[in-house]
Structure 1
Amino acid sequence: MNEVVIFGAASGLGLAMVNYFTSKGISVIGIARDVEKNALSTLCDKTYQCDATDQAQVSAVVELLNKDAIVISTMGSFRADVPVDYIGHRHLIDALESAEVNRFLLVTSLGCGDSWQFMSARSKAGFGNAVREKSLAESYLQTSTLDFTILRPGGLKDGDVTNTGELTQRKEVHGLIHRHEVARLAHQLLLDENTKQKVFECVDPTIVYG
């Protein structure tokens, strides 16, 4: 793996992904609404400004990517005026298909898709709308032609790689995980050809609430 492209790279999980992959000597292209936020432009080999709710901007940026690019999206709608979770990912998926950039890892969250049934009533009330938007993005991706992998992390916390995060499939899980540990697990998934067209959850059982 020589290069990754990260959408939503300027903050939160996206920024943790940038820091993780650059620490591994992997070239990173960071894509965000504000590429100067958190000095993103100094961390990445290249940066592109893009508002993913604007289809034309997304298409223009994707056309700049190599066809063998590995694309990761951590985009989310926290404090956003226009939710990006579904429409932004729909624009991105369409653009990737059109440009024949096939390898794509989408990071959503626990509670999406068939894991909705395991969410607590409190969680559904607090951020259920965002989860539903992300679930729509998952469904759209799963009917695309892309070589996709979906990763649903638990509650995100700041912190270093722990090497104790666990990947699961099709089972009820709850818990927390460091953003940098999610990045490590994303890297692991992308190195494995057998993870294509599959959905994974991840939490770190060594991290407790409180």
Structure 2
Amino acid sequence: MNNLVIWGAGSGLGAAMVDYFHEQGFTITAIGRDPTNNARINELNINAIKCDATDKQQLQQTVAKLPQGVVHISTMGSFNAEVPVDYIGHRHLIDALALHSASRLILITSLGCGDSWQYLSDAAKRGFGGAVREKSLAEAWLQSSTLDFTILRPGGLKDGALTHQGELSQHQEIHGQITRGEVARLTHQLLLNTESIGEIYQCVDASLSR
């Protein structure tokens, strides 16, 4: 349980996950299209692997090198990329993990995915609806896989550390923002809770809108 593979570790939420879980004493393998974008990986002497998840063969070769029995956390995402990783990259990852006899994958998507699409504003749908739809496809692919999955849909992401004010919820309409550090803390909470397997959660931090 103390070994983690973090996908999308080169920047953004993935970088925040690396910092958080390293502080918690986890042994981390950091994977990204270009892990050198995250200087902290080298500073912390964390094992890093370069992998473009949209390249199916490269992804399969990467997964084959990883130890079995570790927990995978994926924060992979792209906005307006020529080949978005949100769906096809996760499809490659999910399939490869299943073939590799991996079990647990925590997938971080966003509010608006799946059945929460109805709560997105028209402006949001126009602005980043394409990425949300890609992530929704990834969720569906994961839900129909053999993996023990948990899906977490955070609100608008902000730079920042833990606030201890973020909250997990299910089956209700929510809106708001949350820091990347706080998403990492809540991901850890889900990782420790076996009852989260097969479940979808959302999270925002109400204190950020006060």
TM-score of the alignment, normalized to the shorter chain, above 0.5: yes
Say if 1:138 and 1:150, in contact at 8 Å, map to a contact too.
yes
Where does 1:48-87 land on structure 2 (aligned, <5 Å)? 48-87=49-88
Show the counterpart of 1:45: 46
Calculate the TM-score normalised by the size of structure 1. Answer: 0.97
CA distance in 1, matches of 2:17, 2:64: 22
Q: For 1:154, give the aligned amino acid.
A: G
Secondary structure at the counterpart of residue 71 of structure 1: strand
Q: For 2:195, give the aligned amino acid.
A: N
Unaligned runs of 5+ in 1: none
Show the counterpart of 2:191: 190
Runs of 4+ that moved beyond 4 A? none
Q: For 2:141, give the aligned amino acid.
A: Y
Q: Verify: 1:136 aligned to 2:117, yes or no.
A: no
Deviation at 1:84, TM superposition (A): 0.5
Show the counterpart of 1:11: 11
Secondary structure at the counterpart of residue 199 of structure 1: strand
Deviation at 1:43, TM superposition (A): 3.1
Say if 1:18 and 1:43, in contact at 8 Å, map to a contact too.
no
Secondary structure at the counterpart of residue 22 of structure 1: helix
> What is the Cα-based RMSD across aligned positions, in Å?
1.1
CA distance in 1, matches of 2:44, 2:14: 12
Calculate the TM-score normalised by the size of structure 2. Answer: 0.97
Deviation at 1:44, TM superposition (A): 5.1
Where does 1:169-208 land on structure 2 (aligned, <5 Å)? 169-208=170-209
Say if 2:9 and 2:38, in contact at 8 Å, map to a contact too.
no
**1:184-207 superposed Cα distances (whole Å, 9 cap, x missing partner):** 000000000000000000000000
Q: Percent identity?
A: 57
CA shift in 2, pair 1:133/1:29, >3 Å: same
Q: For 1:152, give the aligned amino acid.
A: R
CA distance in 2, matches of 1:44, 1:169: 37
Of 18-27 and 104-113, deviating more is: 18-27
Where does 1:55-134 land on structure 2 (aligned, <5 Å)? 55-134=56-135
Show the counterpart of 1:35: 35
**1:172-194 superposed Cα distances (whole Å, 9 cap, x missing partner):** 00000000000000000000000
Deviation at 1:79, TM superposition (A): 4.9
Where does 1:141-156 land on structure 2 (aligned, <5 Å)? 141-156=142-157
CA distance in 1, matches of 2:96, 2:44: 25
Say if 1:18 and 1:44, in contact at 8 Å, map to a contact too.
no
